[in-house]
């Protein structure tokens, strides 16, 4: 999930060595070449090759979208020690992009009058958030979605933050309440609404609230309200399943600086739950983002709530960011900004961005999605990926 930088991400850049295959570049175009004049397939390929070569990434793919035009490229290999290319539209774990799906469902329920953003957590989950200074009567649904609740993040406390812990616990099945209870062992980070700190805990609670309000698991609501209506045939919650469907590139995690790459393809994602367990493909994720920003999933009032941001300070982000409800706005080096939500999980790192025009999104919406099948331990491991997104969105005509 995004912002595992300090969690799994004490896990530094691996130096590309002879044990890593050199980039195997391959491009495949859908319709015409997106961003043809200003930024096209060759530029995208160079940027992706640079990520694979310089960041020690085994394999990566990227998709550039400009209105009806779409261009996809890939680099590296699907598996260490082979020359098998990264598969076209291979499955990957989207990590914290899951949060945008969950936030969308919450806002749909708000539109239906079934949930209110200013509802207190205790209204839906009495007694779940209490003790050690925590009080569910003081935290709102909005604060859960915007990371302003003051709730600690459970992710850094999980045993899978080092290789030994991962091997022992990779198939452990967590219940949502388990994750919340782990977080509540620490005291609040700040008074609700008085600060900002990225917390996966808030989205686990949001998933629990969806279930309480609808009588169905959050993933069932995501499927019924988003996945099926949009025809996202390759997007789903794995539940207790631990693998990825074919085709896919193997996922690799580096747990410590200079450490080896560990195959993390098989893992229980119950630790991600509503904060980050969904699996997808680039085409499906692109369709979701374009549909969301194009107004197909939320009405104007709910969309305005989603895009209302607060500052989201970060010690490691290359560009300044603001946080909406399950969505981020990131500053572009050329001026303006883009909307999206990255995702970082065991062995996968993805970034995306879609250019806004005064918060009005039309059929010519420009965007990019980048997926890496390797998560290294460098503090700056996302910088080249973020730079690729920035370059593409700034230079596309």
Whether 197 is a known active-site residue: answer: no
Instruction: Extract the tokens encoding 215.
Output: 């009588």
Instruction: Extract the tokens encoding 275.
Output: 């904060």
The whole-number pLDDT of residue 241 equals 97
Least confident of 73-77, 117-121, 267-271, 374-378: 374-378
Q: Is the pLDDT of residue 335 over 70?
A: yes
The whole-number pLDDT of residue 117 equals 99
Q: What is the mean pLDDT of residues 340-346?
A: 95
Note the pLDDT tens digit of each residue in 128-154.
999 999 999 999 999 999 999 999 999
Q: Contact at 8 Å (CB) between 23 and 390?
A: no
Arithmetic mean of pLDDT over the chain? 90
Helix (H, G, I), strand (E, B) or coil at 171: coil
* Domain range summary for the chain, segments of one domain joined by +: 8-395
Residue 7's nearest CA partner among 381, 395, 319 is 381
**What's phi and psi for 337, nearest 5 deg?**
-165, 180
Q: Is the pLDDT of residue 370 over 80?
A: yes
What is the C-alpha radius of gyration for the chain, rounded to an integer number of angstroms? 20
Asked whether the CA dihedral 76, 330, 232, 2 is positive or negative, the reply is: positive
Name the strand (E) or helix (H) holding 392.
Answer: helix 383-395
CATH placement of domain 8-395: 3.40.710.10
Catalytic residue among 72, 75, 96, 219: 96
Q: What is the DSSP string of 181-242?
A: HHHTTSPPSSSTTS-----HHHHHHHHHHHHHHHSS-HHHHHIIIIIHHHT-TT-B--TT--
Is the bond preceding 67 in cis, omega lying within 30 degrees of 0? no
Q: Is the pLDDT of residue 32 over 90?
A: no
How many C-beta atoms lie closer than 10 Å to residue 165's C-beta?
13
The whole-number pLDDT of residue 140 equals 99
Q: Is the pLDDT of residue 266 over 80?
A: yes
Helix (H, G, I), strand (E, B) or coil at 90: coil
Q: How confident is the model at residue 379 (pLDDT cuts 50, 70, 90)?
A: confident
Q: Is the pLDDT of residue 280 over 60?
A: yes
Name the strand (E) or helix (H) holding 261.
Answer: strand 261-263
Query: What are the distances in angstroms from CA 369 to CA 37, 98, 236, 300?
Result: 19, 15, 18, 25
Note the pLDDT tens digit of each residue in 2-30.
544 444 443 322 222 223 333 445 544 44
Note the pLDDT tens digit of each residue in 189-227.
999 999 999 999 999 999 999 999 999 999 999 999 999
Query: Which of residues 121 and 314 earns the better pLDDT score?
Result: 121
CA torsion angle 159 162 163 165 (round to 10)? -20
Helix (H, G, I), strand (E, B) or coil at 270: coil
Instruction: Extract the tokens encoding 366.
Output: 């420009």
Note the pLDDT tens digit of each residue in 39-82.
899 999 999 999 999 999 999 999 999 877 889 999 999 999 99
């Amino acid at each position: 999930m995004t912002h595992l930088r300090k969690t799994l991400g004490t896990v530094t850049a691996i130096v590309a060595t002879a044990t890593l295959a050199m980039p195997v570049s391959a491009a495949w175009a859908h319709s015409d070449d997106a961003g043809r004049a200003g930024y096209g397939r060759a530029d995208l390929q160079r940027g992706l090759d640079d990520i694979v070569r310089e960041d020690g990434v085994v394999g990566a793919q990227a998709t550039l979208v400009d209105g009806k035009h779409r261009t996809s490229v890939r680099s590296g290999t699907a598996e260490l020690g082979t020359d098998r290319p990264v598969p076209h539209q291979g499955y990957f774990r989207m990590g914290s992009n899951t949060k945008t799906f969950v936030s969308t469902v919450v806002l749909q329920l708000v539109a239906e009058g079934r949930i209110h953003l200013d509802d207190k957590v205790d209204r839906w989950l009495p007694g779940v958030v209490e003790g050690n200074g925590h009080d569910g009567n003081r935290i709102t649904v909005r604060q859960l979605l915007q990371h302003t609740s003051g709730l600690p993040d459970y992710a850094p406390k999980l045993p899978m933050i080092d290789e030994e812990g991962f091997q022992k616990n990779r198939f452990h099945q967590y219940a949502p309440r388990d994750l919340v209870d782990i977080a509540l062992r620490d005291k609040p980070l700040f008074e609700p609404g008085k600060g900002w700190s990225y917390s996966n805990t808030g989205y686990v609670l949001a998933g629990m609230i969806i279930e309480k309000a609808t009588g169905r698991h959050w993933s069932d609501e995501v499927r019924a309200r988003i996945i099926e209506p949009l025809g996202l045939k390759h997007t789903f919650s794995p539940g207790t399943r631990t693998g990825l469907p074919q085709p896919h590139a193997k996922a690799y995690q580096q747990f410590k600086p200079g450490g080896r790459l560990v195959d993390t393809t098989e893992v229980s994602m119950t630790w991600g739950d509503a904060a980050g367990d969904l699996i997808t493909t680039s085409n499906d994720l692109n369709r979701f983002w374009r549909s969301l920003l194009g107004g197909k999933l939320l009405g104007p009032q709910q969309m305005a709530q989603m895009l209302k941001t607060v500052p989201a300070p970060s010690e490691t982000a290359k560009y300044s960011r603001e946080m909406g409800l399950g969505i981020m706005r990131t500053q572009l080096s050329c001026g303006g900004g883009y909307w999206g939500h990255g995702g970082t999980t065991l062995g996968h790192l993805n970034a995306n961005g879609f250019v806004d025009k005064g918060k009005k999104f039309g059929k010519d919406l420009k965007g990019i999605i980048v997926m890496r099948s390797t998560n290294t331990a460098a503090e700056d491991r996302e910088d080249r990926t973020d730079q690729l997104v920035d370059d593409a969105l700034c230079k596309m005509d």
